[in-house]
């Protein structure tokens, strides 16, 4: 019997999924939020990190510390000015835009602070969207989306649209969508930033529950979110400080 993708991942817990070596990210004229007459800003300055399957790693620091920039580099959403990111065995910097997009689709799930759900679609349809990009058939998309919604405790909300869901439920739909492709890496950028403490606890439990089969990186300044991490990277002014 051929092992499933999940079985293969379970058998390789502890392997490095993503690593960054001496990462520098500068924003100059025409890039990011800086105008053509603005300064060159070094958002990340010589950071090195690796994350293994089965590990939850936090990135902590005040606004502007570089934690979101680090997440974007590790997820292949951006490329470093210098340094190397290796994700699922690929050197991200050697790939073009199309290659990076495919790498993300096959290997990365992203959870944002703002849920980014399509309001006209049901929870199930929102979760299934990445599978449309992968070219899977309707019945397979439906089955996988429902399974992921059940995994995050929303099997009774599959037909509900985002406007019919609470903030915590919407974030759990976003987590299910990030997981539906069975990614090797899950990154979450301030996943509890718009939620109250009780709702945050439910969302964080959902993240913890799926960590065994993949590498998870959570950027947050929320101590409640950082408490679920196996280790925390402390960033300030784009540099990595010693762990507490």
User: For the domain that residue 192 is a member of, what is the CATH number?
Assistant: 3.40.50.300
Number of structural domains, the chain?
Answer: 1
pTM, full prediction: 0.84
pLDDT greater than 50 at residue 3: no
3-class SS of residue 159: coil
The pLDDT assigned to 170 comes to: 92
Write the pLDDT tens digit of every residue in 133-192. Answer: 999 999 999 999 999 999 888 999 999 999 999 988 998 999 999 999 999 999 999 888
Contacts of 241 (CB under 8 A, 6+ apart): 234, 235
Average pLDDT on 191-201 reads 83
Whether residue 220 contacts residue 192, with contact meaning beta carbons closer than 8 Å, is answered with yes
pLDDT greater than 60 at residue 31: no
Cα separation, 173 vs 24, in Å, equals: 33
pLDDT greater than 60 at residue 5: no
Query: Would 219 be classed as within a structural domain?
Result: yes
The pLDDT assigned to 27 comes to: 84
Residues of the domain holding 56: 15-241
Average pLDDT on 9-20 reads 75
Contacts of 142 (CB under 8 A, 6+ apart): 124, 128
Cα separation, 43 vs 176, in Å, equals: 30
pLDDT greater than 50 at residue 11: no
Query: Would 4 be classed as within a structural domain?
Result: no
Query: Would 8 be classed as within a structural domain?
Result: no
Query: Would 213 be classed as within a structural domain?
Result: yes
Average pLDDT on 83-98 reads 93
The pLDDT assigned to 222 comes to: 84
Query: Would 66 be classed as within a structural domain?
Result: yes
Average pLDDT on 19-47 reads 77
Query: Would 150 be classed as within a structural domain?
Result: yes
Write the pLDDT tens digit of every residue in 223-244. Answer: 888 888 999 999 999 998 865 4
Contacts of 32 (CB under 8 A, 6+ apart): 43
Query: Would 95 be classed as within a structural domain?
Result: yes
The pLDDT assigned to 35 comes to: 52
End-to-end, the C-alpha distance of the chain in Å comes to: 46
Average pLDDT on 189-197 reads 83
Query: Would 10 be classed as within a structural domain?
Result: no
Please give the DSSP secondary-structure letter assigned to residue 230. S
What does the mean pLDDT of the chain come to? 86
């Amino acid at each position: 019997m051929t092992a499933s993708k999940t079985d293969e991942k379970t058998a390789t817990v502890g392997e490095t999924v993503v690593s960054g070596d001496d990462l520098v990210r500068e924003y100059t004229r025409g890039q990011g939020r800086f105008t053509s007459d603005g300064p060159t800003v070094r958002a990340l300055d010589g950071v090195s990190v690796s994350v293994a399957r089965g590990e939850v790693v936090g990135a902590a620091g005040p606004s502007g510390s570089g934690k979101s920039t680090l997440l974007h580099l590790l997820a292949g959403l951006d490329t470093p000015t210098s340094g190397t990111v290796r994700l699922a065995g690929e050197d991200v910097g050697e790939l073009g835009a199309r290659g990076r997009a495919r790498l993300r689709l096959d290997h990365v799930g992203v959870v944002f602070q703002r849920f980014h759900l399509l309001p006209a679609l049901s929870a199930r349809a929102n979760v299934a969207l990445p599978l449309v990009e992968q070219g899977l058939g309707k019945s397979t998309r439906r089955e996988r989306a429902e399974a992921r919604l059940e995994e995050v405790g929303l099997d009774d909300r599959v037909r509900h649209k985002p406007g019919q869901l609470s903030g915590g439920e919407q974030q759990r739909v976003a987590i299910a969508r990030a997981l539906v492709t069975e990614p090797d890496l899950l990154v979450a950028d301030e996943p509890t930033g718009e939620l109250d403490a009780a709702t945050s606890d439910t969302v964080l439990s959902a993240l913890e529950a799926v960590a065994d089969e993949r590498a998870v990186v959570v950027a947050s300044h929320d101590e409640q979110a950082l408490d679920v991490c196996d280790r925390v990277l402390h960033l300030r002014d784009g540099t990595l400080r010693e762990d507490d």
